[in-house]
């Protein structure tokens, strides 16, 4: 049983899986619970209505620290980006100083925190040096589009949509990671499930991961497949769909899980420092059991 | 007649405003109508509207029935009021989000949890309104009913209910609107269908015409119920009132 | 069936916090078939007493033994009709057992026939009072309480109704308590006239009238009236005013 | 006394329930209290509570004032009712999300937009309740006021207001709760502070104790206002009512 | 200052949809300082007429010329007090100009002194009516309308109040309209007695009494009374009943 956000990328993957009968090949019966908001998945997992949801390792580690034994397997390394209108005078991240900046997801959003950490290394404290508007991602995307905001830090799918409308990408958050100590693109999003459930369903999980890999493969090689799932993405035009496709492909995690975990450990420290206790909970370090290691071939 | 006129005025104002504001800020009526028709064609509109209406009906009925009973009790019995009041204020001021999240965590992402959470959100406002109604009951008529030994049911139906009816009407109307606001949150957070679900999707896609199409469809249903059922009934049951100019 | 009243005291605490003594010792008894008339100055505590006797106010010092489970017909001082029910419904709700001929007869006597379907808000005060009378009579009460039943009615109608009440009481053995400011009514209807003092109410006199209602001549009535007038000391008779 | 008892009972039930349900499903009172104290220490609690209270106060006052006026008008004047009714039903059934999103789109991500959106959400429920109140006004007292030529203000204050007061009380209590529910959505969607903002954060982290800490703090503020201000005032102004047993 | 009334017809449409003719042609005039008394059977349309004359009901056929802007004092048939204001506040709200000595005197006359701080719900009906009287007198009306002002009061008090009303009217040139069922009151107070038919109301007789109020002897009063009784045809006098 998996819970997905109806407009999320996971839903796209599942559509491909069904279209190609991958679930039958893997001998899995996938029950999909479609939900309408990102937080709904966490509720579904907590309430026991779903076995697998997609969210980030930050939350998993925090929950482990608080006693809920969840575990994580990489799903996507796609992160947000900083977007400005094409004609904007903003050229580099440092130019964001003194601007009106729309931050999607609020002050504990990982994109935002990573950006802050990066800029801090350059001696800029954006939190006090810019006018910041927190808010819901779609609303802020629209606000940036209408010109009310100078720039936005937003989730990658909204950025892709903006890009298709001619907006300029100042920087992808994933590009900032090396400077923060990570060795590569870290997959912050992943499949999350309960330890106990995982222990009893080892085989099922392995088959599930393999199945989704196959789907990712299809999506990364076949453009025709994108035409088929176009209605799901809500992309109003071909340009947006193309942007979605490219960003999605970039985000497919291809690194060994040990590397991912090592990077996560480093980034966690960075985030813990900047986000503080509120963000990471009682644990200053990434909880040891956060990553799921039982997949053959990692 | 006046209603039709008023409705026409509404559409006109909307249209003109959308011309001034631009499509992006406020889509004009035809755009929204197109979205509505498309959704209706595909059957989506009726499916989601139906799911939401079922939830609304259940939660509303539950909350009104319980709320009326508790509110009456608190209005009549001093002790009940004293004991219940802190709970009432707490419930009144419990954010919808919190109630819904807790309900889902406890009872799972089930229909029962959703309906219970919605009913719990609406309940205290019904209680508060009915409590005022019960406090304002006429003691003289009560004495009359006692002396003439009116049976319990007859007393409720003919002496008490008519006095409470304006309060019930107020609680029902504003309560329906509250239920409707909350069902959307509940559907957003943990139901795989319903208008709230669709509005959530439309919001994620920032599809304003779709957003409006669903919102207005629901309003239209309520408007229909009001015009065809509630208002004729109200007119009948308030015949006794001296007509105002 | 017998009513025994012994109210030692009744006080109200007003909202402003003052204490008001309303009854300061009233005791009397009434047998089935008897009509007791309470006469006393306005505001002396008559209606309060009726509410106690009907069991509506348990908060007093003393003892009242009422016929248990007796059907009560109460004509309150104000009509107390349900504004949202028609005249006919108002009567029927209180007297679900009354049949159509009975109601017709009552409405006929009380001249309410044209108003059956009216709501109370569409009635004159006199009409509304008559509906309250109809309601009290329709229940065929064993204990009838009348708080100024004939006020706000014209002299002709009042006199006709007085005769009707007398007939009703004589026909069946109804225990009746009547409050009135009209000494004439009191003497013509009562078997016992209880005179009350100004607030707090005490019994000034308890005058039995032994001649049966039907047999009272004008001379005797005038005699009792002047006796009552004399007892209400210091009070100029209405006839002698101005 | 009864209030204290009731409050103690609430905490006890909560505690026992949390023991049964387990920490993850319902944190026990001390955990929430700890979270509350931590937030209070850091000053966050007061900052966000203050921001929200300011918004609530403004939106509430605005909506109540306007709602009372419009509701009174619609209850008294037949034509106003006829014309206004479809608009009222539409507004009543406009989802909070839609109103807030539209307000933010039109007026920008500003304080004004937030307050206007909240007020617009609450307005129709106040109108609906006050309309019932106005319909139930006593014509006899009105005639009395006319004959004795009571000045406009005196008539409003002494004849009309006391009759409307139970309806105003009901509209205010349930309205405050509605405003509070909606301010959270408004803050969640586009304000950089306030309890709703914090609840949004807590929700993203799925931090139930923090969620409850903020919710209960607000409820506590309202409880305090009720106990110290509203209820003594109500007791005074309803002294005239015959006391119930 | 003069009141001229010419009501051709007044009909009510009841909620049940029936048409009720209430007034079918009433015309009379009243001069300043005069007391007009309306006497008619219960439900004939008297209160309706008073409401029209006070300008409360514009929906009728005919013409009423009232003194423009005259201060009106109206004692409604029911007290119509504000339940949420004390007795004193009820009076003061209607008569903001009345000063303390004046109010004290009024409360003294009406025996309301002990009840100044009571709320209307704490009054007996007789007391509430007296408050309504106090309110109407406190405004020092130029046009005084009394709808059964002395009902529900005991005989002694009623007779004292009747004298007070007479004094008040004679003292200043108040135009007064009085509705009463008590022929005695009518003859002792009125300058002109207007007898009305049963519903729909028509004027049966318009009897002027030319002797000034103070000078009327008992004999003359009795004569006018029997004249009135005779006019109300078919009606047995109250004295002669039973
Ligand atoms: N709103 C109304 N709708 C229909 N009929 C009405 C309405 N108001 C009064 N009536 C009718 O008008 C008639 C006259 O009423 P009105 O109150 O004037 O009588 P009245 O002469 O004052 O009687 P009373 O002596 O009993 O007070 C009554 O028959 C009553 O039923
Ligand atoms: N709820 C109350 N609180 C305080 N005082 C009250 C209350 N009810 C009645 N009273 C007082 O009790 C006294 C008696 O009232 P009651 O109604 O019994 O008088 P009554 O004899 O019926 O007078 P009336 O002939 O005018 O009807 C009055 O002085 C009144 O002010
Ligand atoms: Mg009385
Ligand atoms: Mg009348």
Percentage of residues in chain B having pLDDT higher than 90 = 27
**Residue C91 in tokens:** 């009567």
* Cβ contacts from A onto B, under 8 A: 72
More confident site: A263 or E26:
E26
> Of B182-191, C33-42, D5-14, where does mean pLDDT reach its minimum?
B182-191
Q: Do chains E and C touch (3 or more CB pairs under 8 A)?
A: yes
* Residue B160 to residue B137: CA distance in whole angstroms: 7
CB of B219 within 8 A of CB of B7? no
Angle (nearest 5°) at CA E39 between E33 and E40: 150
DSSP assignment, residue B244? P
**What CA–CA distances, in Å, run from E8 to A107, A174, B21, E54, E60?**
80, 93, 60, 17, 8
Provide the pLDDT for residue B13.
87
pLDDT averaged over every residue in chain A: 80
Q: Whose CA is nearest to atom 28 of ligand 2?
A: C43
Nearest to C164 by CA among E232, E233, E241, E183: E241
Q: Does C84 reach chain B within 8 Å, measured CB to CB? A: yes
Provide the pLDDT for residue A297.
59
Q: What is the mean pLDDT of residues B196-222?
A: 82
* Residue C240 to residue A67: CA distance in whole angstroms: 98
Q: D43-237 falls under which CATH superfamily?
A: MetI-like (1.10.3720.10)
**Residue E43 in tokens:** 């439900």
User: Would you say residue D170 has pLDDT above 60?
Assistant: yes
Q: Whose CA is nearest to atom 30 of ligand 2?
A: E123
Q: Whose CA is nearest to atom 17 of ligand 1?
A: C124
What 3-state class would DSSP assign to D42? coil
DSSP assignment, residue B243? P
Enumerate the residues of chain D whose CB falls inside 8 A of the CB of residue A102.
109
Residue E58: how many other CB atoms lie within 10 Å: 8
More confident site: B146 or A61:
B146
CA atoms within 13 A on the CB side of B148: 32
Partner B, chain D 106-135, Cβ-Cβ below 8 Å: 106, 121, 124-125, 128-129, 131-133, 135
- Whether residue A181 has a cis bond before it, omega within 30° of 0: no
Dihedral of the alpha carbons of E83, E89, E94, E98, in degrees to the nearest 10: 160
User: Would you say residue C241 has pLDDT above 60?
Assistant: no
Angle (nearest 5°) at CA B163 between C60 and C58: 10
User: Would you say residue C63 has pLDDT above 50?
Assistant: yes
**Residue B22 in tokens:** 């631009």
Ligand located closest to C196 CA: 2
Closest partner residue to D158 (CB to CB) among E74, E85, E120 is E85
Q: Which atom of ligand 2 is nearest to the CA of C77?
A: 27
CA dihedral over E111, E115, E119, E124, signed as positive or negative = negative
Provide the pLDDT for residue C233.
58
Q: Whose CA is nearest to atom 6 of ligand 2?
A: E122
Are D141 and E82 within 8 A, CB to CB?
Answer: yes
Segments in chain A below pLDDT 70? 36, 278, 281-282, 294-298
Provide the pLDDT for residue D24.
67
* Residue C86 to residue C123: CA distance in whole angstroms: 10
Partner B, chain A 49-68, Cβ-Cβ below 8 Å: 49-50
Confidence of residue D1 (pLDDT cuts 50, 70, 90): low
Q: What is the pTM assigned to this prediction?
A: 0.88
Q: What is the mean pLDDT of residues C11-39?
A: 89
Provide the pLDDT for residue B1.
66
Q: What is the ipTM of this complex?
A: 0.86
**Residue D16 in tokens:** 């026992």
Q: Does A131 reach chain D within 8 Å, measured CB to CB? A: no
Are E76 and D241 within 8 A, CB to CB?
Answer: no
CA dihedral over C64, C66, C68, C71, signed as positive or negative = negative
pLDDT tens for residues E186-226? 998 999 999 999 988 999 999 998 888 888 888 888 888 88
CA distance B151 to chain D (A): 21
More confident site: B181 or E80:
E80
DSSP assignment, residue D157? I
All structural domains of chain B with their residue ranges: 43-237
Per the document, the length of chain E is 242
CA distance B140 to chain C (A): 7
Ligand located closest to C111 CA: 1
pLDDT averaged over every residue in chain C: 88
CA distance A136 to chain D (A): 5
Confidence of residue D191 (pLDDT cuts 50, 70, 90): confident
pLDDT tens for residues D55-68? 889 999 999 999 99
pLDDT tens for residues D129-167? 999 999 989 999 999 999 999 999 999 999 999 999 999
Provide the pLDDT for residue B243.
62
CB of D47 within 8 A of CB of D193? yes
* Residue E95 to residue E97: CA distance in whole angstroms: 5
**Residues forming a β-bridge with E146:** E75, E178
Provide the pLDDT for residue B245.
37
CB of B221 within 8 A of CB of B48? no
Q: Whose CA is nearest to atom 31 of ligand 2?
A: E123
User: Would you say residue C235 has pLDDT above 50?
Assistant: no
Q: Do chains A and C touch (3 or more CB pairs under 8 A)?
A: no
Nearest to A288 by CA among A265, A255, A257: A265
* Residue C56 to residue C2: CA distance in whole angstroms: 19
Provide the pLDDT for residue C72.
93
Provide the pLDDT for residue E236.
43
* Residue C11 to residue C28: CA distance in whole angstroms: 19
Determine how β-strand E61-65 pairs with β-strand E2-13. Answer: antiparallel
pLDDT averaged over every residue in chain D: 86
Q: Does D177 reach chain B within 8 Å, measured CB to CB? A: yes
Provide the pLDDT for residue A1.
77
Nearest to C201 by CA among C54, C48, C34: C48
Helix, strand, coil content of chain C in percent (nearest 5): 35, 25, 40
Chain A residue closest in CA terms to D209: A66
* Residue E169 to residue D46: CA distance in whole angstroms: 69
Provide the pLDDT for residue C237.
42
User: Would you say residue C156 has pLDDT above 60?
Assistant: yes
* Residue A192 to residue D203: CA distance in whole angstroms: 18
Determine how β-strand C192-196 pairs with β-strand E61-65. Answer: unpaired
Chain B residue closest in CA terms to C91: B148
CA atoms within 13 A on the CB side of C224: 26
CA dihedral over D152, D153, D155, D156, signed as positive or negative = positive
Nearest to C206 by CA among C235, C236, C222, C228: C228
CA dihedral over B187, B192, B196, B202, signed as positive or negative = positive
Q: Which atom of ligand 1 is nearest to the CA of C129?
A: 26
Ligand 2 close to Cβ of residue C135 (< 6 A): no
> Of A181-185, A217-221, B96-100, E48-52, where does mean pLDDT reach its minimum?
A181-185
All structural domains of chain E with their residue ranges: 2-71+141-233
Ramachandran region of residue A206, left (φ > 0), alpha (ψ -120 to 50) or beta? alpha
Are C235 and E43 within 8 A, CB to CB?
Answer: no
Provide the pLDDT for residue B210.
84
Confidence of residue B102 (pLDDT cuts 50, 70, 90): confident
* Residue C165 to residue C134: CA distance in whole angstroms: 11
User: Would you say residue E239 has pLDDT above 50?
Assistant: no
* Residue A174 to residue A189: CA distance in whole angstroms: 12
CB of D206 within 8 A of CB of A59? yes
Enumerate the residues of chain B whose CB falls inside 8 A of the CB of residue D95.
180-181, 184, 196, 199, 215, 218
Which of B98, B186, B187, B192 best tests the A interface by mutation, with the highest count of A CBs <10 A?
B192
Confidence of residue C146 (pLDDT cuts 50, 70, 90): very high
CATH classification for the domain delimited by C2-71+141-233, as one of 3.90.650.10, 2.40.50.100, 3.40.50.12160, 3.40.50.300: 3.40.50.300
* Residue D126 to residue D51: CA distance in whole angstroms: 24
User: Would you say residue C204 has pLDDT above 50?
Assistant: yes
């Amino acid at each position: 049983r998996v819970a997905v956000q109806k407009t999320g990328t996971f839903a796209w993957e599942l559509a491909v899986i069904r279209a190609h009968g991958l679930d039958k090949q893997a001998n899995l019966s996938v029950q999909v619970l479609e939900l309408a908001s990102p937080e709904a998945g966490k509720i579904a997992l907590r309430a026991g209505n779903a076995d697998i949801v997609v969210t980030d390792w930050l939350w998993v580690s925090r929950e482990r620290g608080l006693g809920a034994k969840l575990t994580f397997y990489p799903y996507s390394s796609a992160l947000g980006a900083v977007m400005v209108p094409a004609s904007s005078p903003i050229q580099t991240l440092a130019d964001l100083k003194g601007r009106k900046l729309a931050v999607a997801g609020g002050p504990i959003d990982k994109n935002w925190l990573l950006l802050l950490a990066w800029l801090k290394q350059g001696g800029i404290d954006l939190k006090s040096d810019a006018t910041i508007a927190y808010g819901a991602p779609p609303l802020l995307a629209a606000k940036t589009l209408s010109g009310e905001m100078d720039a936005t830090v937003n989730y990658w799918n909204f950025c892709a949509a903006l890009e298709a409308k001619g907006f300029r990408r100042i920087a992808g958050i994933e590009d900032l990671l090396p400077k923060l100590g990570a060795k590569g693109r870290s997959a912050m999003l992943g499949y999350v499930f309960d330890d106990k459930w995982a222990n009893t369903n080892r085989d099922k999980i392995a088959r599930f991961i393999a199945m989704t890999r196959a789907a990712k493969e299809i999506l990364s090689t076949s453009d025709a497949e994108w035409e088929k799932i176009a209605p799901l993405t809500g992309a109003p035009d071909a340009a947006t769909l193309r942007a979605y496709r490219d960003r999605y492909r970039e985000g497919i995690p291809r690194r060994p899980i040990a590397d991912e975990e090592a990077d996560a450990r480093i980034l966690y420290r960075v985030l813990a420092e900047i986000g503080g206790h509120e963000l990471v909970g009682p644990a200053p370090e990434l909880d040891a059991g956060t990553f799921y290691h039982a997949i053959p071939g990692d | 007649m006046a209603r039709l006129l008023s409705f026409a005025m509404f559409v006109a104002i909307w249209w003109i405003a959308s011309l001034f504001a631009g499509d992006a800020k406020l889509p004009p009526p035809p755009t929204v109508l197109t979205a509505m028709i498309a959704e209706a064609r595909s059957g989506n509109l009726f499916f989601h509207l139906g799911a939401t209406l079922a939830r609304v009906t259940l939660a509303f009925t539950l909350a009104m029935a319980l709320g009326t009973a508790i509110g009456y009790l608190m209005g009549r019995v001093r002790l009940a009021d004293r004991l219940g009041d802190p709970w009432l204020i707490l419930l009144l001021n419990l954010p919808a989000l919190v109630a819904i999240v807790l309900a889902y965590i406890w009872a799972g992402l089930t229909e029962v949890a959703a309906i219970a959470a919605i009913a719990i959100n609406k309940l205290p406002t019904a209680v508060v309104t009915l409590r005022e109604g019960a406090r304002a009951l006429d003691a003289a008529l009560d004495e009359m009913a006692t002396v003439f030994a009116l049976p319990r049911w007859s007393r409720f139906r003919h002496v008490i209910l008519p006095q409470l009816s304006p309060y019930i009407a107020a609680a029902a109307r504003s309560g329906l609107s509250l239920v409707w606001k909350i069902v959307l949150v509940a559907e957003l957070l943990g139901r795989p269908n319903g208008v709230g679900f669709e509005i959530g999707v439309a919001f994620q896609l920032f599809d304003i015409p779709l957003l409006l199409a669903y919102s207005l469809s629901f309003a239209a249903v309520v408007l229909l119920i009001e015009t065809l059922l509630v208002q004729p009934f109200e007119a009948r049951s308030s015949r006794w009132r001296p007509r105002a100019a | 069936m017998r009513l025994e009243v012994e109210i030692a005291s009744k006080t109200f605490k007003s909202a402003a916090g003052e204490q008001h003594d309303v009854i300061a010792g009233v005791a009397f008894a009434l047998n089935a078939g008897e009509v007791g008339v309470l006469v006393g100055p306005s505001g002396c505590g008559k209606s309060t007493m009726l509410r106690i006797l009907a069991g509506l106010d348990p908060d007093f010092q003393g003892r009242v033994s009422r016929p248990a489970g007796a059907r009560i017909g109460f004509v309150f001082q104000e009509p107390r009709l349900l504004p949202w029910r028609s005249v006919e419904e108002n009567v029927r709700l209180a007297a679900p057992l009354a049949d159509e001929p009975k109601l017709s007869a009552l409405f006929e006597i009380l001249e309410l026939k044209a108003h059956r379907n009216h709501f109370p808000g569409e009635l004159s005060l006199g009409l509304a009072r008559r509906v309250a009378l109809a309601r009290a009579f329709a229940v065929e009460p064993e204990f009838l309480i009348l708080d100024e039943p004939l006020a706000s009615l014209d002299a002709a109608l009042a006199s006709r109704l007085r005769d009707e009440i007398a007939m009703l009481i004589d026909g069946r053995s109804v225990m009746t308590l009547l409050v009135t400011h009209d000494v004439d009514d009191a003497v013509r209807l009562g078997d016992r006239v209880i005179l009350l003092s100004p607030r707090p109410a005490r019994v000034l006199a308890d005058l039995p009238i032994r001649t049966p209602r039907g047999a009272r001549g004008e001379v005797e009535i005038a005699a009792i009236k002047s006796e009552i007038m004399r007892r209400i000391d210091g009070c100029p008779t209405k006839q002698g005013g101005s």
